[in-house]
């Protein structure tokens, strides 16, 4: 690393001008004072409750909580936790679906002076077990809907608290004293270079500092704003809207795309008068493409794309669909260090020819581009993106060796640290950082950070697989495509369906390969796997156990074209299973959305989601032929659909197996 750093970065005038426009039209912005950062999250939250007791805090569907109601619910959860575990600071695990309960539980844990670890019902049990054991959490807080899965995670030293069974006699008035600002508030887990989840320790002060920075310097969130929450709180990308809204008096609006359907997202944004929208680019694609023309979302003032680099296609969709009104926010962060780069764009921005823009350094951050020896590269050259600053993070939970590897003490700048992101970039003349990819094998799939080595290790535990490699291909401009290359010990090779069922017990859905290519042996150079020699996948139908049967009717022909478009396969059969073709939850929502647009029939969404073959889906459409769609009735049917979780996906797979066996 160089002996001296360049001066702290000054924003170019154009970026300062566009940030000056990023305010709610009501003009009611109130600054987040610095003294509130020196307290704790519950203290800041309760200050907001006193200011806006009757203002809507959280809303999902017909269920709502005002700030006063949310505060009382959180306090009762806190008292129940204290009754079980006492006042000492310790990790508390949360296991909830998307919605209001998990929000109340988060603030309940913090009010109790403890810190939380967010599990997910969509994670395989072994991953939740690992996070519980690593964090050393002794209490799992959940609700009735997840009490069964939570109970399976208990042990002799670990118990469960169902918030729906809390004693009504527990008081709901505020608790004191509070946790200190330097105490832990959360441990967030991500997948590290070894494939195991890594815990990142977060203090009250770190979270409050980030919320204050977002409020005062960037988005100017105010009590009139209404923010989306499309991410599970198990992922770090949900934090900015969770705390950005509820620590500023704004309204937080969770929306479960899996259960509600992507085709209703635009209507929901309009009906709920959303002002700040955030999602991965892959979800934004579907939102933009669902709009018939220019977006008519008058309340929307900001679109934030995160979780994956923003591409030219993303920006073109923004320009074409949102010609007036909202600004576009781009950013870069990491689970280890939140808030690295940030920028606001409007229609006049010129997208770079190479790479993805990720913004300018945030306040208190210095961006360095380093070569292999740790020295800064020359202007315009490519280097690893590193972040400099004071107290960037506490590091990895119970892993000081990894902390020392990823966080380097900057001897030239006193108490500052350097975090090595593993991302590669270039600095533009005006200071904008351009992201050029990953240094290692980490990739982003639909907004999730994926270590392909973890998938490879899972494949190698299969008794018939001798060699395995996984690559991410940019075949689809909407998202990367994971392809697994396999060499078997003996023939016949396992079927695609067998491999999917095998992997579902070991890795999350978003890590499942979209395709499998079978080879006699994987290419090697100097005794090591040569990834550059692995063949590029084509658009042909995978080798399936079922024979190819083409469409027999106009309905099946239309469905085959929709499936082929979404799945990127040239030719497929009417008995091919959706999951055997590399389908995932977002692909399913795209197919259902296109089917509803194509046929304009009043069809229960459950019937479409539970049709894993074209033949089955064609039967459903034929059954409802002639029933013209009615928006009101469709909305009613949507509310009856259960939350589509990992269990729902397993149900679809079971139907697929039933179809094959029959």
pLDDT along the chain (662 residues), means of 10: 51 94 93 93 96 98 96 97 94 95 97 95 86 96 96 93 92 76 86 63 92 92 96 81 96 90 90 95 84 85 89 88 91 86 94 90 91 90 90 84 81 74 91 85 75 82 88 72 89 86 86 89 70 82 82 91 86 86 76 80 74 89 74 44 40 44 42
Q: How many CB atoms lie within 10 A of CB 131?
A: 24
Going 261 to 265 to 268 to 272, the CA torsion angle's sign is positive
Q: Tell me, what's the pLDDT at 413?
A: 58
DSSP state of 98: S
Quote the CA–CA distance of 630 and 23 in Å, as a whole number. 38
- Residue 244 CB burial class (10 angstroms; 0-12, 13-18, ≥19): buried
CA–CA distances in Å: residue 160 to residues 84, 95, 146, 249: 10, 10, 11, 31
Q: Tell me, what's the pLDDT at 181?
A: 64
Give the domain ranges of the chain.
Answer: 442-533, 554-661
CA–CA distances in Å: residue 52 to residues 1, 224, 246: 49, 11, 11
Quote the CA–CA distance of 563 and 595 in Å, as a whole number. 9
For the chain, the straight-line distance linking the first and the last C-alpha, in angstroms and rounded, comes to 65
Q: Tell me, what's the pLDDT at 170?
A: 87
Six-digit token pair at 585?
A: 């939850």
Q: Tell me, what's the pLDDT at 529?
A: 75
pTM score: 0.74
Six-digit token pair at 613?
A: 């073959």
The residue behind tokens 């003996």 is 490
Quote the CA–CA distance of 81 and 163 in Å, as a whole number. 10
Q: Tell me, what's the pLDDT at 102?
A: 97
Instruction: Please give the class, per CATH, of domain 442-533.
Output: alpha beta
Quote the CA–CA distance of 464 and 486 in Å, as a whole number. 10
Of 523, 399, 395, the closest CA to residue 469 belongs to 523
Of 478, 514, 569, the closest CA to residue 288 belongs to 478
The answer for residues whose C-beta is within 8 angstroms of residue 81's C-beta and 6 or more apart is 92, 108, 109, 112, 114, 139, 141, 161
Q: Which residues pair with 517 in a beta bridge?
A: 485
Instruction: Please give the class, per CATH, of domain 554-661.
Output: mainly alpha
Q: Tell me, what's the pLDDT at 86?
A: 94
């Amino acid at each position: 690393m160089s002996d001296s750093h360049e001066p702290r970065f000054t924003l170019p005038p154009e970026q300062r001008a566009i940030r000056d426009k990023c305010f709610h039209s009501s003009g009611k912005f109130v600054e987040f004072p610095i003294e509130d950062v020196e307290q704790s999250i519950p203290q800041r939250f309760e200050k907001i409750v006193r200011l806006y007791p009757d203002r809507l805090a959280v809303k999902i569907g017909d269920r709502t909580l005002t700030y006063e109601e949310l505060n009382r619910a959180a306090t009762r959860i806190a008292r129940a936790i204290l009754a079980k575990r006492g006042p000492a600071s310790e990790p508390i695990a949360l296991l909830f679906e998307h919605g209001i309960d998990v929000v109340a539980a988060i603030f309940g844990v913090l009010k109790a002076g403890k810190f939380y670890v967010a599990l997910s019902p969509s994670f395989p049990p072994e991953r939740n077990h690992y996070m519980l054991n690593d964090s050393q959490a002794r209490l799992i807080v959940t609700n009735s809907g997840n009490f069964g899965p939570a109970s399976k995670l208990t042990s002799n030293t670990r118990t469960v608290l169902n918030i729906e069974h809390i004693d009504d006699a527990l008081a709901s008035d505020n608790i004191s004293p509070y946790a200190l600002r330097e105490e832990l508030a959360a441990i967030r887990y991500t997948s590290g270079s070894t494939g195991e989840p890594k815990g990142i320790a977060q203090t009250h002060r770190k979270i409050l500092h980030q919320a204050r920075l977002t409020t005062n310097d960037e988005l100017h969130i105010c009590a009139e704003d209404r923010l989306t929450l499309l991410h599970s709180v198990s992922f770090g990308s949900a934090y900015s809207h969770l705390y950005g809204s509820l620590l500023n008096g704004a309204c937080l609006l969770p929306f479960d795309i899996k259960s509600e359907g992507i085709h209703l997202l635009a209507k929901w944004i309009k009906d709920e008068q959303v002002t700040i929208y955030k999602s991965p680019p892959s979800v934004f694609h579907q939102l933009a493409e669902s709009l018939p023309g220019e977006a008519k979302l008058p309340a929307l003032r900001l679109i934030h794309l995160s979780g994956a680099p923003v591409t030219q296609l993303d920006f073109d969709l923004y320009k074409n669909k949102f010609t007036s009104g909202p600004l576009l926010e781009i950013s870069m962060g990491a689970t280890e260090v939140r808030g690295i780069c940030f920028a606001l764009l409007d229609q006049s921005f010129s997208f770079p020819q190479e790479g993805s823009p990720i913004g300018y350094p945030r306040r208190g951050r210095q961006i360095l581009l380093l070569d292999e020896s740790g020295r800064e590269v020359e202007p315009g050259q490519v280097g690893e993106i590193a972040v400099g600053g004071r107290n960037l993070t506490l590091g990895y939970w119970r892993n000081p060796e990894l902390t020392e590897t990823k966080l380097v003490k900057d001897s030239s700048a006193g108490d500052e640290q350097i975090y090595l992101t593993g991302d590669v970039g270039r600095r533009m003349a005006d200071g904008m950082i351009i992201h050029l990819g990953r240094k290692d094998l980490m990739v982003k799939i639909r907004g999730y950070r994926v270590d392909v080595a973890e998938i490879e290790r899972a494949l190698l535990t299969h008794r018939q697989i001798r060699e395995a490699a996984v690559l991410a291909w940019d075949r689809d401009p909407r998202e990367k495509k994971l392809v697994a290359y396999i060499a078997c010990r003996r023939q016949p090779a396992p079927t695609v369906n067998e491999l999917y069922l095998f992997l579902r017990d070991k890795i999350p859905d978003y890590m499942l390969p979209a395709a499998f290519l079978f080879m006699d042996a994987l290419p090697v150079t100097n005794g090591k796997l040569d990834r550059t020699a692995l063949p590029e996948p084509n658009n042909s139908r995978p080798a399936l156990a079922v024979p190819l049967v083409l469409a027999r009717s106009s309905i099946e022909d239309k469905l085959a074209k929709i499936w082929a478009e979404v799945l990127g396969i040239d030719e497929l059969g009417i008995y091919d299973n959706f999951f055997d073709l590399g389908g995932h939850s977002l692909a399913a929502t795209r197919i259902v959305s296109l089917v509803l647009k194509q046929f304009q029939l009043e069809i229960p969404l459950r019937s479409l989601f539970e049709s894993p073959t074209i033949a089955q889906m064609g039967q459903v459409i034929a059954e409802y032929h002639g029933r013209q769609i009615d928006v009101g009735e469709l909305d009613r049917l949507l509310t009856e659909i259960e939350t589509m979780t990992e269990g729902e996906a397993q149900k679809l797979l079971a139907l697929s197996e039933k179809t094959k066996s029959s």
